[in-house]
Amino acid sequence: MQNPVTVIQSVRLDDENDTLVLLDQTVLPNETNFLELKEMEDIWDAIYQLKVRGAPAIGIAAAYGAYLGAKKSTAETYEALFADFTKVKDYLATSRPTAVNLFWALNRMEDRFKQEAGKSVAEVKAALKEESENIRAEDEKICEAIGEHALSLLEPGWGLLTHCNAGTIATAKYGTALAPMYLGQERGYNFKVYADETRPLLQGARLTAWELQQAGVDVTLICDNMASIVMKEGKIQAVLVGCDRVAVNGDAANKIGTSGVAILAKHYNIPFYVCAPLSTIDLECQTGDDIHIELRPSEEITSKWYEKPMAPDGVQTYNPAFDVTDHSLITGIVTENGIAYAPYTESLPKMFKK
């Protein structure tokens, strides 16, 4: 019997209608609404407004967007088509700054374009479609492999804590940090999962809790500031999180609040694992200090989820979307090619050679 959650395609291409179809993650769990986007401005907005979110899903959406932009071009030569493609690529790249998958996917689409030099416009467009579909299909296999590797670190009956949402709707299938939970559910591991609500956008409450509950996983929602007490009470045996960018030294950027969870896990001697497809590992980025952290609008803190504003009018806010967990707090980084351990400057590059 197929899991009702892992069959969801949160990002897909409707090529016949020149449309990118996205599960609108901003209205979950109250509505399951799929957006049908044809214009680049709408695709850009969907990425920026977090209608599609999760590093792999962002990359897949960007790849499809780049293909659709090229497909709609009326250019009659390779050079003219490349100029139109580049405009779309550069435009989509401005939607969000932190998730490396966005740029990885767009650059991969550009590389494929260049490989088709000398071919007809129609052949180039067909190649771009193929590449975008390959990116989606490969992500599904990558997530399953990450899940298998992560599951090897866990024992049946364990309590697991996760932060933000790194599940099926953030990827092509299974997710990254949630992948071992889904695989474990299929194999009778009976994990008990604690999901941080993940302020201020509540990805844990709205998305992770919804996903896991729909899949029949034993999930308990907690406020972010409750992570310490469930650890102290012995309810957590491992922490698994996703990430948006990993530096070559192992510093990992993930949703705001992740570094605090890692600090708590270190204090209570609980292993803390980052689940990271190789596409999120940036070997050009030396440390977490080099990762650009996106700042989000103040309304996300003061009024977004409230009937009335819950902060004084005009109060100053600071709303970084991500923080960086220091490599010294990370027990291991789980990739599709295996598990990297410290020193990460040695183990992470080796993952690319497997």
Decide: 214 and 241 in contact? Cβ < 8 Å.
no
Q: Say how far apart CA 51 and CA 229 lie, in whole Å.
A: 32
| Residue 47 burial (C-beta neighbours within 10 Å; 0-12, 13-18, 19+) | buried
Report the DSSP beta bridge partners of residue 246. 252, 281
Alpha-carbon distance of 17 to 2, in angstroms, equals 28
Compute the distance between CA of residue 204 and CA of residue 240 in angstroms, rounded to an integer: 13
Helix (H/G/I), strand (E/B), else coil: 69: helix
Say which of 244, 251, 282, 323 is annotated catalytic: 244
SS3 280: helix
Nearest to 321 by CA among 239, 221, 200: 200
What angle is formed at CA 99 by the lines to CA 236 and CA 51, rounded to 5 degrees? 85
- List, in sequence order, every residue forming a beta bridge with 325; answer none if it has no partner: 252
Which H helix or E strand runs over 71?
helix 55-71
Beta strands in the chain (DSSP E): 11-14, 19-23, 34-37, 159-162, 192-196, 218-222, 238-241, 245-247, 252-255, 272-275, 281-282, 322-325, 332-335, 338-340
d(CA 140, CA 36): 22
User: Percent helix, strand and coil across the chain, each rounded to 5?
Assistant: 45, 15, 40
Q: Tell me the sheet residues that pair with 161.
A: 194, 239
Active site annotation includes 244: yes
Closest C-alpha among 195, 199, 201, 198 to residue 178: 195
- The catalytic residue positions are 244
